Structure 1
Amino acid sequence: MSIDGAVWHPFFQHGTEPEPPRAISTEGAFIETDRGRLLDAVSSWWVVTHGHNHPRIAQAIRETAGNLDQVIFAGLTHAPAEELAEALVGMAPEGLSHVFYSDSGSTAVEVALKMALGYWRHEGDGRHRIAVIEDSYHGDTIGTMSVGERGVFNAAYDPLMFAVDRLPFPSGDGAETLRAFEEMAASGRMAALIVEPLILGAGGMRMYGADVLRGMREICDRHDVLMIVDEVMTGWGRTGRLWACDNAGIAPDIMCTSKGLTGGVIPLAATLASRRIFDAHRSTDRRRTFYHSSSYTANPIACAAALAQVRLWQESPMQEVLDRLGDWQAERLAKLAADPRFENPRRWGTVAAIDMKVPEGGYLSEAGPRLRAHAMDRGVLLRPLGNTCYVMPPYCVTEADLDLAWDVIASFDL
């Protein structure tokens, strides 16, 4: 089909982009296209964990589809959702006891924000302010854009968005960020803090330390501010532990997960909340009901896929896999860090990033599309964030695969 056909592609400028390849099949770390095989070095927008077309997840989908398709989840329930919820609570940071399903990372965050504001309303407290970190990205719905960075992503929709309190990115030891948050939290107006823990993904793979995350949790505790962590990208091992929160030894009040939840096979999201949040909505007064859902909430087939993905975590030596991949990434990043054309090498767990030294940086840097085309011509799928290069592969990737990805970046003519 021509690029001028019926499809409107996401994050794709149809006025400048060449016609994209057509995916034909997927397996492991690779996508077969009509123009050849591509190494998926970005896990297809950070969703694929165990590898494309994993047989165990595919089998769970086939088996469930033979018995259940979509059923309304308001007033009905089913085994895949119940079993998955129990498994998630068992794997989540301590204190997260209830699971609310939705269908994407954006909706998981919308749910979290509504839970937090609903909590304070039902508690009879007037708190409504939300604190965020600059350069954050939490999704593309109205609420999630509001708590994300304002810029090229959402400038056209500014009239729709609500105001939030912004904290500086926690550079260095994060002391400035923690001081600013302490002052905000002490005002007594702060309902919640929402953070991408340890890595700000779409904001340029900006990374900060576990001590800062721990410090933010302590401030939330001191001033009774709800802590929401957006583990949509960072969850399921990306930072070297199952959850980014595990690196800091903290537990949030609300946690969002999606992307890797089903291994990247089918859309599903979950927002996990503490009993405190759940109990504030549980009542004999129907006005305190949590009024949120989507038509496909807790789709049985998606829940079955996620449960199969969870069982892989429970039954496989995943920590060994993450540690090995992190070491491989560190070795290759160190080699490129010595190249004077690049700067600011950084890594958290399995995610490695480095910036190209170009005259025009930022998300609209022309270096990004040029590197993407350069990589695709050489059999690698990359999606630079402006002048930021990153590699975030599926966990089935080999050392030779990583060599291919990093060699392509090194061979790029800035």
Structure 2
Amino acid sequence: MTRKFFGTDGVRGTANTYPMTAEMALRLGAAVGRYFRRDGSNVHRVVIGKDTRLSGYMFENALTAGLTSTGMNVLLLGPVPTPAVGLLTPSMRADLGVMISASHNPAHDNGIKFFGPDGFKLSDEAEMEIEALVEAGVEPAQARNIGRAQRIDDGLFRYVERVKSTFPEGRRLDGIKVVVDCANGAAYRAAPEVLWELGAEVVKIGVSPNGLNINENCGSTSPQTAAEAVVAHGADLGICLDGDADRIILIDETGKIADGDQLMALLASRWAEEGRLKGNALVATVMSNLGLERFLAGKNIGLERTGVGDRYVVERMRAGGFNLGGEQSGHIVMTDYATTGDGLMAGLQFLAEMVRSGHRASTLAKQFETVPQLLKNVRFSAGQAPLDEVKVQAAIQQAEADLSGSGRLLIRKSGTEPLIRVMAECEDEDRLNAAVAQVVEAVQKAL
């Protein structure tokens, strides 16, 4: 059975367009409320956070209406990072956590992510059950059992204190200048505050959200502005977060950008040296560079590959007892500290290593030489299935044959946007470019 409107990270799409409508949010709220309030009592509660998108007000109200209609009591956090919802759901003894965000997507998109009472994202099986409840309809609670809603004013403070607690005790960031780009998103207050309280000199950008400028030419998907700021201000490090602050991209003091693979390599090797790396392995997706795999093998550290999506990384980590994983895109999951990717926590781990080792960011952020990698996206419309076309499949088979023995090819549909992603790696860049080009051309012709 396939899911109808849940993707790799909750429900996502353009605001006011199916499935991201107020009506669907109302139905989703009622369905997930019924799913978690099965015993009929009125002691159940749900924590709701959001990023800074204009449509967040609409979805927050619609979800609250749906949830309270089934008897759930709603605790509203306001704008907080996604990992804050994962942390505060079990802390506040809630049965459910909800984050309203489309992460790195532009402002016109939005999404709804669900967390269970343990603070981890829901499984595919749970999401399918909720979909079935949405389609079947949910009987509302009796009038006397309707839930209540209230604002939680100190949710952000609780998160800030939790994040600071992950930085090594007794160490400070005195003398370190950090550029932090908050993408005009959910961490626009938390990230600069954490860094400043730990002693850093902070240069803030992307901290003026207006509901429409989240991820707009800033943040982890557009790190060039922050890179320029690092050089202009003579900063020691740049930290770029995305709209909901669950991913990070680093910038060294020269303005060079480092992705999640380099940060995972640093943390995995350091934790292995300290005996902290559970299972002596890192969990990463099929998108992570071959250079990372070779680097880890050279240090006798295993690499567990999963499908794309931090949720699948976390599922493998929990199943195998691992405590470090993530994605090349910057989701860094450290289950010793958090239940999902946390860009700010990951940035603090990098800064802690700078303080401990005395090395500059440019040294720590270049752990291995990457194998040349090329990723191209092809947008498609609803109802189109280009990967099912015979000519596209033939082009993929030919590209795989061309790269055989020297590289790899990965073709997939994005779980968060209507895109076909074509990625390849190969030491020979001419063969790399040719392989990607022939698949992209075949997909475009099919469309």
**Fold-level match, TM-score > 0.5?**
no
Q: Normalization by structure 1: what TM-score?
A: 0.29
Select the structure with the greater relative contact order (CA < 8 A; seq sep ≥ 6). 1
